[in-house]
Amino acid sequence: MRTIAVLIRKEFTQIRRNRIMIPAMIVAPLIQMIILVYAANMNMRDIDFAILDEDGSSSSVNLISKYSSSPFFSLAGSVNSLDDAEKLLRGDKADLVIHIPANFEKNILNQDRPAVQFLVNGINSAAAVLTASYAQNILLDYNKQLLASFSKPSVSQGFGTIQIDYSHWYNPDLDFKIFMVPGILVILVTLVGWLLMSLNVVREKELGTIEQINVTPVKKYQFLLGKLIPFWILAIVELGIGLTLGRLLFHVPILGSLGVLIGFTAVYLITVLGFGLFIAAISETQQQVMFVNFFFVMVFILMSGIFTPVESMPDWAHYVNLINPLSYFMRVIRMILLKGSGFADVWKDFLSMGIFGILMISLAVTSYRKRA
């Protein structure tokens, strides 16, 4: 233990002397979190729409005004033909074109099923789905008003109306920032521990200082633990700072136990740091480490559920996520912070991370070549 303590102290001394390391580990990720939470926002605002009104009636004007007064839509202009509408969409000058055909008001008065056409820019499929959904909701609301205005009082009084009230659990205001803060925090904690530690090990290989330790009686596991523990501590500290920042700036709720979250983070970091040590052990240059880490980091992040639900991914992706540590942490941190889940709800994830951690540390120790 004394040997490991000396190595840990040596590692902290090196980190302190490196003027770039502390800002890269603490300051930069927190600034990134603040920026990314606002940037990675799936809520749609100011959807540019154009109007192709071939009817020109009071009914079509009323329908257009409902879209213009909506906080989600911004009127980009009007066109005179479908060809002009297509040019707007091709030129990315509008996200949506609302086509109101001729005889729109006449069909309403004759109760002859009037039609409205939506032309949606489908380059971004997620944005297109939301745009169409918002547009349809406004049209449905307009349709309800028409039905109410045409209904006879004697008939409408004889029937009750069905009112639908929505209750959104865990995020009542549907604030996307509350959903994104835990996910971005997972990525930043992972990158700080995993990438910087593996780069730090290989940097010592390039400088030759690691050879000085290799010829000492220090055992492999002692050396690797001396490298792992300082970055493990710093990543835990960053988690605490990130949670505090998320609570103060973005009002992220902390409904579950912080002890369970920190405990899971501690086990999770052993897994990813062990994986980083394994990559550093089989690499000779920082460039090699960067390329290998970049491959795994990109795959793990995009499949972790940070932007798209894991449940909507194909079956093969579910099997890949069984060995994706970020998907476990992404799910657990959101469950604890937003749902108030306890240890009984996440014990299987604890078990999986514990097994992964033992495997990764064992793999790193066996892969590291020490010449005594």
pLDDT digits (tens, 9 = 90+) for 141-162: 888 887 777 665 554 454 455 5
For residue 42, the model assigns a pLDDT of: 65
Nearest to 364 by CA among 164, 211, 220: 220
Q: Could you name the CATH architecture of 47-144?
A: 3-Layer(aba) Sandwich (3.40)
Instruction: Please give the angle made by the CA atoms of 285, 277 and 319, to the nearest 5 degrees.
Output: 110
Is the separation of the CB atoms in 203 and 60 below 8 Å?
no
Inform me whether the pLDDT recorded for 371 exceeds 80. Answer: no
- Residues 184-239: tens digit of each pLDDT: 899 989 988 888 888 888 887 777 777 777 677 778 778 888 888 888 998 898 89
Residue-level pLDDT at 155: 47
Question: How far is it, in rounded angstroms, from Cα 93 to Cα 121?
Answer: 10
Span 6-18, pLDDT tens digits: 888 887 887 777 7
Residue 41: per-residue pLDDT: 66
| Residue where the block lists tokens 């995020």 | 171
Is the pLDDT reported for residue 165 higher than 70? no
CA 61 to chain centre: 40
pLDDT at 166 over 70: no
Domain span(s) for CATH 3.40.1710.10 in the chain: 47-144
**pLDDT, tens digit, for every residue of 265-301?**
999 999 999 998 889 888 888 888 888 888 998 899 9
- What percent of the chain lies above the pLDDT cut of 90? 22
353 three-class SS: helix
pLDDT in tens, 302-350: 899 887 788 878 888 889 899 999 999 999 999 999 999 999 999 999 9
Cα distances from 7 to residues 90, 119, 221, 237, 368, in angstroms, run 61, 64, 11, 20, 17
pLDDT at position 159, please? 47
The pTM of the full predicted model, rounded to 2 decimals, is 0.78
Helices (H), the chain: 2-17, 21-22, 28-39, 58-68, 82-90, 104-109, 125-150, 153-158, 176-207, 209-214, 220-250, 258-282, 286-302, 315-320, 325-334, 343-367
For position 337, what pLDDT does the model report? 93
Phi, psi of 341 (to 5 degrees): -65, 150
